[in-house]
């Protein structure tokens, strides 16, 4: 792997550069830190790049708020920060002010909302429905709740790539309390029709809880318009909020009064500084928030939200589709002959912003891409190389270069060393 | 309030400067950012000052790990960070390696451990016992669990200052599943004898869960030696971990196998990257940790831990006692005549590192201290001015100066304006 620049002599190069030149979001790339121009980062769906503006936000928290203002900062913006940023995030998911709060981790939020949902359901609704495409932590959390409350967790089987719509429609019935699905699934990138699935759930009288981790920041989402009841999601993928940045949760306004957070902490109390010993939950979304938030990580979310809002989810989606179609096109001639097969939906309407390829040597290929290929994709057990396309900073030329590098890598002697590597993630 | 320097002409000045000169921890003050030398910060028990070394830690996360190494950082330290820092914190609470993990917020951790504890208890143990000195969020969380699991929450009444030992001994019986108390209580600073209370609980066959938020970093704690079962605590008070920095939890090794975290997230899974759909909790403390941590806020904890370890909990406690005794001594002549009365235990053995004074005008006094007195104490509803003494950076001269300023303030015309202020915290 000597040549790590682009490949002007290969087919498609001119198309890639032309697509970049006419990309209306092209200028957003400059808003993100890029310390290594040779590196092609294809994992922004796992940890987004750092917005340059995040440096100043972090500096403010460190140098002025924590260092200088100290405890006074709680009255100068920190106390409301998770609500203010929740309101800022709301338009990215089709929610209103007061329906979103930044809080805890996705796993904790899923627990809170799923628990609240099933506890609010009528007697006789003893079933939680999900699918086998859901992110494992979601399934584990739902399973834990089901075991605890003596409910049945039904994990509907898919073909491994596409949402199992028909089996879901059969599984969701009058005994179903809650349906919980990933909007865009973490492995294949399959993306549910939120409105259609939500209607299916509501027709059976079930609540629906969407995990938006892999779709938020990559496409328009309309929680309000689709009638969705509940949602959670993370902010460190396409929203570029920083490593492990706090997650968010959404509770449709009409459910806020009725649902009870099982974790009844003081931040959700009507009068947190009254220090009374009786639990009186506040009204509104704050009641789903238990304890003090990690301010450094919370504050750092804001620039990523600003960039996504400025770009607009519609334009982001437009570019995302173009990027993934372009990648899939190139893969047919460069990757398929080398043993890769598309492990994502071919129909762009059913696909999020990452594309997975199955390969029997997916793990050594991923390892070689990272260690000698100057590309960072993600490996997903057992046989997927997952390519994340971040519309705000991934370029068409990067996609072109990455595909050329992947092909060259597979053909190279350097790669042979990796083929013997264990399939264990290290 | 014209003169904001020290008061060399007042009684006690020479003693204060002499105490500072012979303070073996005197040099630690230089390890913390202090942007405003005139300001006397008496709220380090709410938000600790920033260790200067935290800047470099944050810079590393921002400039090198997030910006440059991106997702690779997870394999270069992030994945184990909450366990490594848990092990680092362990000696500060008398725990072994593998018994502490940094995780979520104190409220969330309390929920996880309290829920696990009561679910592990034998049939017939239908009672959770706490006291009315406990921090309200602890009581709310316990109350939520009790309501959910149809248990009884007994809130033992105190005199408002001292731990109600006798009433607790009567309340804790063979029907008690769990006793949960603050080790040092947030308002009066009363500090339980952990070993004695733990023995009392164990004699009745109950588990005990300590909230160490107001004691960790201010005194030696011996969870192992006292036989304590479970503990939680925060890192942003005397540990100086930063605003809202993640909390910690402790599970005694012998209980780790038996107890089940109700929030069964992927970070607690035996093989998190196997992505299997079946929940198989890992062994060890990691099983009590659900989801991805906010790395910026998590990493920033380390310098504060290092400083506390270097100082040693014993030396920290020695200074803490000296500081609070000194404050109480001065208060007798300067504050009592102005309507303050000690609202903390007089016996230093029963007191943590903050001292509360009751005053009928506590809120306007607090407001005036902050706005014109260049002092930052904390107000605690309805009538406490709480003075936090942080042994690593509070000086005896600051205590002397603060008491002089408080006396002068109460006598001043400037203060009269505040007296009319509403008792509502703004």
A24 shares contact with chain B (CB less than 8 Å):
no
Nearest residue to A260 (alpha-carbon basis) of A101, A117, A110: A117
- Reduced to 3 states, what is the DSSP secondary structure of residue A113? helix
Contact A293 B105 (CB under 8 A): yes
Give the number of other Cβ atoms within 10 Å of residue A170's Cβ.
10
B100: domain CATH number is: 3.40.640.10
pLDDT tens digits, A99-148: 999 999 999 999 999 999 999 998 899 999 999 999 999 999 999 999 99
Provide the pLDDT for residue A137.
Answer: 96
Residues B298 and B354 in one domain: no
CA gyration radius, chain B: 22
Q: What region, left, alpha or beta, does residue A380 occupy, with left being phi > 0 and alpha being psi -120 to 50 degrees?
A: beta
Q: Are B131 and B251 in the same domain?
A: yes
Chain A residue with CA closest to B33: the answer is: A67
Residue B109 lies in a domain: yes
Is A411 domain-assigned? yes
Domain count of chain B?
2
Q: In what order do the strands lie in the sheet containing B176-182? A: B100-102, B248-251, B230-233, B207-211, B176-182, B127-131, B152-156
Residue A6 maps to a domain: no
Same domain (yes/no): A332, A272: no
Supply the range of the domain harboring residue B406. 13-31+312-419
- Nearest Cβ partner of B43 from A55, A70, A187? A70
Give the pLDDT score at B423. Answer: 47
Q: Which of A258, A276, A309 is the last residue of a domain?
A: A309
Chain A closest-CA separation from residue B11 CA (Å): 31
User: Would B302 be classed as within a structural domain?
Assistant: yes
Query: In chain A, which residue's Cα lies nearest the Cα of B119?
Result: A148
Cis, bond preceding B382 (omega within 30 deg of 0): yes
Distance (Å, whole) CA B228 – CA A363: 45
Are A110 and A149 found together in one domain?
yes
Q: Closest by alpha carbon to A191, among A209, A218, A167?
A: A218
DSSP single-letter state for residue A2: -
Residues B347 and B380 in one domain: yes
Report DSSP state, residue B373.
S
- CA dist A151 and A125 (Å) reads 9
Radius of gyration, CA atoms only, chain A: 22
Say whether A140 and B297 touch across the interface (CB within 8 A): no
Packing angle, helices B52-59 and B302-311, rounded to 10 = 140
The tokens describing B407, both together, are 């006396």
Residues 90-129 of B with CB under 8 A from A: 104-108, 111
In A307-346, the residues whose Cβ lies within 8 Å of chain B are none
Would you state the pLDDT for residue A324? Answer: 97
User: Within an 8 Å CB–CB cutoff, is residue A281 touching chain B?
Assistant: no
Residue ranges for chain A with pLDDT beneath 50: 423, 425-426
* A426 in reach of chain B (CB within 8 A): yes
The residue with tokens 């929030």 is B263
CB-count burial class (<10 Å; 0-12, 13-18, 19+) for B76: exposed
Condensed to tens digits (0 to 9), the pLDDT of residues B278-315 reads 999 999 999 999 999 999 999 999 999 999 999 999 99
CB half-sphere exposure, B200, CA atoms < 13 A: 19
Among candidates A73, A107, A273 on the partner chain, residue whose Cβ is nearest the Cβ of B243: A73
User: In this complex, is the C-beta atom of B144 within 8 Å of any C-beta atom belonging to chain A?
Assistant: yes
> Does residue A346 form part of some domain?
yes
Q: Which residues on adjacent β-strands are paired with residue A178?
A: A128, A207
Interface test mutation site (partner B, options A72, A277, A422, max chain B beta carbons within 10 A): A277
Interface touch A292/B106, C-beta < 8 Å: yes
| Cβ contact, residue pair A265, B72, below 8 Å | no
Question: Residue A393 falls within a domain, yes or no?
Answer: yes
On whether any CB of chain A is under 8 Å from the CB of B8, the answer is no
With respect to residue A426, please indicate whether it lies within any of the assigned structural domains: no
Nearest to A141 among B187, B263, B273 (CB): B263
Active site residues of A: 135, 211, 236-237, 386
- Residue A206 and residue A129 in contact, taking contact as beta carbons nearer than 8 Å: yes
Put simply, the answer to whether B247 touches A291 (Cβ < 8 Å) is yes
Residue that is written with structure tokens 């979520």 in the block: B104
| One domain for residues A198 and A278 | yes
| Confidence (pLDDT) at B76 | 97
Tell me if chain B has a CB within 8 Å of the CB of A80. no
C-alpha A216/C-alpha A212 separation (Å) is 6
Whether residue A164 sits in one domain with residue A104 = yes
CB A365 within 8 A of CB A423: no
Contacts of B234 in chain A (CB under 8 A): 292
Clarify whether residues A147 and A230 are in a common domain.
yes
Verify that A354 and A319 share a domain, yes or no: yes
Q: Are residues B324 and B219 in the same domain?
A: no
Taking the Cβ of residue A266 and every Cβ of chain B, the question of whether any pair is shorter than 8 Å is answered with yes
Are B234 and B268 contained in the same domain?
yes
- Residue A422 in tokens: 């264990």
**Are the C-beta atoms of residues B398 and B326 closer than 8 Å to each other?**
no
Q: Do B263 and A139 touch (CB under 8 A)?
A: no
- Cα–Cα dist A190/A184, whole Å: 5
Size of interface A-B (CB pairs under 8 A): 255
State the nearest Cα–Cα gap between A109 and chain B, in angstroms. Answer: 10
Read off the tokens for A29. 């790339």
Q: Which pLDDT score, from 0 to 100, does residue A426 have?
A: 43
**Active-site residue identified among B115, B192, B236, B415:** B236
The domain boundary residue, chosen from B309, B334, B360: B309
Q: How many CB atoms lie within 10 A of CB A83?
A: 19
- Shared domain for A199 and A101, answered yes or no, is yes
Find out whether A289 and A82 touch, Cβ atoms under 8 Å: yes
* B266 Cβ under 8 Å from any chain A Cβ: yes
Contact B243, A66 (CB under 8 A): yes
For residue A20, give how far its alpha carbon lies from the nearest alpha carbon of chain B (Å): 23
Chain centre distance of CA B305: 13
- Residues A418 and B419: their CA atoms lie apart, in Å, by 75
Give the pLDDT confidence score for residue A5 in this predicted structure.
Answer: 82
Active site residue B396: no
> What CATH number should be reported for the domain holding residue A322?
3.90.1150.10
Answer yes or no: do B264 and A140 touch at CB < 8 A. yes
Q: Is residue A3 part of a domain?
A: no
Interchain contact B72–A (C-beta under 8 A)? yes
Per-residue pLDDT tens, chain B, 426 aa: give them: 555 788 999 989 999 999 999 999 999 999 999 999 999 999 999 999 999 999 999 999 999 999 999 999 999 999 999 999 999 999 999 999 999 999 999 999 999 999 999 999 988 999 999 999 999 999 999 999 999 999 999 999 999 999 999 999 999 999 999 999 999 999 999 999 999 999 999 999 999 999 999 999 999 999 999 999 999 999 999 999 999 999 999 999 999 999 999 999 999 999 999 999 999 999 999 999 999 999 999 999 999 999 999 999 999 999 999 999 999 999 999 999 999 999 999 999 999 999 999 999 999 999 999 999 999 999 999 999 999 999 999 999 999 999 999 999 999 999 998 987 654 444
Alpha helices (H) along B204-347: 223-226, 253-256, 295-299, 302-311, 313-334
CA terminus-to-terminus distance, chain A: 23
Mutate which: A35, A41, A42, A47, vs B, most B CBs within 10 A: A47
Nearest to B308 by CA among B233, B413, B202, B252: B233
Residues 154-173 of A with CB under 8 A from B: 155
Query: In the listed set B309, B338, B359, which residue is the last one of a domain according to the structure?
Result: B309
């Amino acid at each position: 792997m000597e040549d790590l620049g682009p490949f002007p002599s290969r087919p498609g190069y001119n198309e890639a550069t032309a697509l970049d030149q006419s990309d209306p979001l092209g200028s957003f790339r400059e808003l993100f830190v890029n310390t290594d121009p040779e590196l092609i980062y294809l994992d922004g769906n796992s940890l987004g790049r750092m917005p340059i503006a995040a440096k100043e936000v972090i500096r403010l928290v460190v140098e002025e708020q924590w260092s200088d203002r100290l405890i006074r900062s709680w009255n100068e913006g920190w106390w409301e920060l998770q609500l203010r940023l929740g309101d800022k995030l709301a338009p990215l998911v089709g929610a209103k002010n007061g329906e979103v709060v930044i809080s805890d981790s996705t796993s904790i939020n899923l627990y809170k909302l799923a628990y609240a949902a099933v506890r609010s359901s009528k007697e006789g609704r003893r079933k939680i429905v999900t699918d086998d495409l859901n992110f494992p932590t979601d399934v584990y959390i739902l399973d834990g709740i089901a075991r605890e409350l003596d409910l049945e967790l039904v994990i509907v089987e898919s073909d491994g790539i596409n949402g199992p719509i028909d089996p879901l429609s059969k599984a969701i019935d009058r005994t179903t309390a809650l349906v919980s699905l990933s909007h865009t699934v973490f492995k294949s990138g399959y993306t549910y029709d939120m409105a259609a699935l939500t209607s299916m759930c509501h027709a059976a009288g079930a609540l629906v809880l969407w995990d938006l981790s892999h779709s938020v920041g990559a496409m328009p989402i309309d929680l309000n318009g689709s009638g969705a009841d509940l949602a959670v999601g993370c902010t460190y993928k396409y929203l570029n909020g920083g490593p492990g940045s706090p997650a968010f949760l959404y509770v449709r306004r009409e459910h806020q009064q009725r649902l009870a957070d099982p974790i009844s902490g003081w931040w959700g109390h009507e009068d947190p500084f009254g220090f009374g010993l009786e639990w009186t939950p506040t009204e509104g979304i704050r009641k789903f928030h238990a304890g003090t938030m990690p301010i450094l990580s919370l504050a750092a979310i804001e620039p990523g939200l600003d960039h996504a809002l400025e770009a607009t989810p519609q334009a982001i989606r437009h570019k995302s589709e173009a990027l993934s179609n372009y990648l899939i096109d190139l893969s047919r001639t460069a990757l398929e002959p080398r043993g890769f097969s598309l492990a994502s939906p071919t129909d762009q309407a059913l696909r999020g912003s990452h594309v997975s390829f199955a390969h029997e040597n997916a793990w050594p290929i991923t390892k070689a891409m990272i260690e000698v290929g100057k590309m960072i994709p993600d490996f997903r057990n057992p046989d997927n190389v997952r390519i994340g396309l971040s519309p705000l900073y991934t370029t068409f030329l990067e996609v072109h270069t990455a595909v050329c590098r992947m092909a060259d890598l597979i053909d190279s002697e350097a790669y042979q060393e990796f083929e013997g590597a264990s399939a264990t993630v290290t």
